[in-house]
Structures are given as structure tokens and as C-alpha cells.
Amino acid sequence: MGLTHQKHLFDIPEDVTYLNIAAQSPAFKAIYEAGLEGLQQKNRPYTITLSDYFEPVIQLKKLFATLIDADDYNRVATIPSVSYGMATVANNIKLQPGDEIVVIDEQFPSNYYSWKALSETYDATIKTVVKPSKTDSKSWDDAIIEAITDQTAVVAMGNLHWSNGSLFNLKAISQKAKQHHALLIIDGSQSVGALPFSIKDIQPDALICAGYKWLFGPYGCAYAYYGSYFDNGKPIEHNWANRLDSENFAGLTNYQSQFKPLANRYQVGESGNFIYVKMQIAALQQIIEWTPNTIQEYCKTISVNAVKELKALGCHIQDDNDRSHHLFGIELPEGLNVEAFKQDLANRQIYVSFRGRYIRVSCHLFNTEADFKPLIACLSAHLQQV
């Protein structure tokens, strides 16, 4: 393995087992220090220069473009949330009555509500693709590809399922969507940063990512990539910084009708947030240095024995090739008192996410193989009571 654990960069106490980065990432030291630098700048606003409103944002967009294998950083916008990015996408799509929007069963709400509203506006249909049963020979990918027809206007989904890590073959899905002239809108919140992703390979029309999970940014930041379909679209807000020549403060009241090129028109107002941007830059620089592929392989290495032990206890976990390794779901055995188990985990400071009879485990470079042992021991103790 090319990289050992990075626990020394984080401030997680030894008595805490944190397997829940899919909900909220911890900050590492460089991010914390970058945030302090931004606070110091705010304390002394006379040190803020004109370039501070623009150049760090450009640097941040270049970093994100590098991470997702996009050639032009001008196709990247920094935004406050996935819902903001999805609202921007939906704001620039017109449908016909009877058109279909394909989504995945139990998709995260921020990648559903915009499509529900859009379908109601245009009398279109939400087409939800349910995972085939265990006895069905058809895969989830097969079902998604089969659901895309000439009626499909939009396919909106993640690179993997946010609750259990089920991987989707986005390349094949993208090819089918393009055959039927459907837009492909990807929510990369639970994959980008921990799983390799290439714009050139997948060719989505838009990619929206929360920034506070695998991208280690503060809560309230996100990223969006917009393809050529959105080059001349309408933003959901109008702010001074998105217009041409906005760098000229002295001429801001010479109102400009033209936007900056490509995705720059979709930047959120006050995108030059001095504290957030500095933290985001530090985060992406470190992720690019680690590389998503290395992170994925590390997570696989530290979790492989735990997966075997959990299966031996009667838990169901998808096969390795069908799921991610930084995030995966564990179906708990029948008869287990889930509420008592949940409370015991909290008492022992073991942090995971619960989804009904499933728990979602998510790990990173601050974890080691030893972090899975308290979870397994706690589950084993409760199963003995069944």
C-alpha cells in the first residue's frame, strides 16, 4: 500500500471511532490554519485587496477542475449547496408534457425536489428506478439503462447510492442517455474526492458536489461543473461579480449586461468568501496530493477484514465489485434491537449513520483497520442477546 494512515493530520481523540465522514468530514490541520488566516484577514479588513475577491476563487476552481479531470476551470462554479446547483440546472431546462425524468429509488432529497418541481411545472413524469430484487438476474445498471427511452429528457443520479455505496456504471448510462438526447446530471457528493471521477470519461451535462463531505470543506460550500448545454443559461441570482469587467470597482455602476463566460454566470454571490475559500483551497490541494484512487485503495485495505467479520455475524454487504470502499451499507441481522444497538454505539462514541435496518459506514485516511473493531464488538454483543 502506497500510503499509511494520516491520523496525525486530524484532531480526532483516541476514544472516538469516527466512521461517518459521509455525513460530515473532520477538518485536518491545514484547513484549520487556513480558516484562521481568513479570520485574521477579516479582523483587519484594510488588508483585503481587490484581487482577494477574485484570484483565490480562480485558484479554487482550477483545483476542482483538476480533481474531476476537466480542461477548463471556467466550467466550474463555486456554490453554497447541492440544492443551489440543482436549482440552477432545473432553471435552464424546459420540458414537454409527457417527458420523463429518470431518478434512482431513495435518491437524496437535494437531487429530487428540483426534479419533482420541474415535472409538475411542465406536466412531465418522474420515473424512479428501483433496485432489482436479489433473485432478479437484472442488475441495477441494467434497470437504469432500460429505463432510458425516447421519452427521457433528464437522467439525474449519483455516481453511487448515497445510503449504501452501490456503484453505477455511469459511462454506460451516459452513452445511453446521449443516444436518446437526454441530459445527464450527476450528484457527486458521496464520490468525488474519494473515488476517481473524470469529466472526459463520463461526459455529464452537469456535476454537482457538496463540499463538506469527501472534499473536506466547511458546511455551506459546494461545487458545480456545467457542460456546454448550460453555456448561455440563466442564473438563479444576479450579483455584481458574475458580470464582465466586475474587477473594475470604480466602474461597477456602468451596468454590464454581459456575464463572464461559461459557468462563471452561475457563481453564488459573495463567492470570494475569504474564510471558506482559503479552507477549500487547503482541502483540495491535500486531496489532489493524496489522489482519490489512493484513498479508495486505502479504504478497501483497512475494511476488507471487517467486511468478512460482519458477514460472518450475519450481516449482508454487497460484493466488493458492486460497491465503493469508502462508503458501504451493512444490512443488520433479523431480530437485532436496532434502537438499543444505536444507543450503545452512541454511548461508546462510535459514529455511523443509520438507515432503517441498515447502517452506513464511511471511512478515510484518518481511520485504520482497528477502527472497525469497536463496531464489530458492539454488534456481536447485541447479537448474543437475540
Could you read off the pLDDT of 187-214 as tens digits, one per residue? Answer: 999 999 999 999 999 999 999 999 999 9
Distances in whole angstroms, Cα of residue 386 to Cα of each of 290, 334, 379 = 43, 9, 11
Burial class (CB in 10 A: 0-12, 13-18, 19+), 354: middle
The pLDDT value recorded for residue 256 is 87
Distances in whole angstroms, Cα of residue 384 to Cα of each of 12, 64, 381 = 31, 48, 5
| 3-state secondary structure at position 32 | helix
The pLDDT value recorded for residue 68 is 98
In the numeric block, the cell 459521509 is attached to 22
- How far is residue 80's CA from residue 296's CA, in Å, rounded to a whole number? 26
The pLDDT value recorded for residue 2 is 67
Domains and CATH numbers, the chain: 7-27+291-383 (3.90.1150.10), 49-290 (3.40.640.10)
Copy the grid coordinates of residue 304. 476488507
Burial class (CB in 10 A: 0-12, 13-18, 19+), 91: middle
Residues in the chain where the model's pLDDT stays below 50:
1
